């Protein structure tokens, strides 16, 4: 029964989140809880840039790319294929470069 709560994307601040909250609220009422309510909060959220997804890449000492992360996660089964799944992103972090020099 509860697996349905994770079947669809429900990123905070989206309609998917509102739908899931309503479904849980109704379930709790049906189960006999005397008082069930939801609250609304105004929270600063960050979202991925869908037109330019984030990725991580590693360079060797000569500047050659030796690793690049996927911009999108692999779909492992047909029930995971939803158009509103957001790509992986690091919330609240601006794009940037990190340079680490290996110690000798």
Same domain, 57 and 28: no
Same domain, 9 and 25: yes
| Conformation bin of residue 92: beta by default, left when phi > 0, alpha when psi is -120 to 50 | left
**What letter does residue 78 receive in the DSSP assignment?**
G
The whole-angstrom separation of Cα 58 and Cα 67 is 5
Top pLDDT among 8 and 66 is at: 66
Confidence band for 1, pLDDT divided at 50, 70 and 90 = low
Task: Supply the pTM of this predicted model.
Answer: 0.66
Same domain, 3 and 41: yes
Residue 57 within any structural domain of the chain: yes
The whole-angstrom separation of Cα 53 and Cα 85 is 13
Q: Tell me, what's the pLDDT at 103?
A: 64
Q: From 30, 45, 60, give the residue that closes a domain.
A: 45
Same domain, 38 and 51: no
Residue 65 within any structural domain of the chain: yes
Q: Tell me, what's the pLDDT at 74?
A: 83
Same domain, 37 and 63: no
Tens-place pLDDT, residues 22-76: 999 999 999 999 999 999 888 888 888 888 887 888 888 888 999 998 888 888 8
Q: Tell me, what's the pLDDT at 22?
A: 94
Residue 69 within any structural domain of the chain: yes
Instruction: Please check whether residue 86 is in contact with residue 47, taking contact to mean a CB–CB distance below 8 angstroms.
Output: yes
Domain count, the chain: 2
Range of the domain at 7: 1-45
């Amino acid at each position: 029964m509860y697996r349905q709560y994770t079947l669809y994307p429900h990123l905070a601040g989206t309609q998917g989140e509102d739908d899931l909250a309503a479904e849980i609220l109704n379930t709790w009422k049906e189960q006999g809880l005397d008082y069930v309510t939801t609250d609304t909060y105004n929270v600063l959220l960050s979202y991925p840039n869908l037109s330019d997804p984030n990725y991580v890449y590693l360079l060797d000492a000569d500047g050659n790319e030796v690793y690049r992360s996927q911009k999108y996660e692999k779909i492992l089964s047909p029930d995971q294929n939803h158009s509103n799944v957001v790509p992986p992103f690091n919330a609240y972090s601006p794009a940037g470069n990190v340079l680490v020099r290996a110690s000798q």
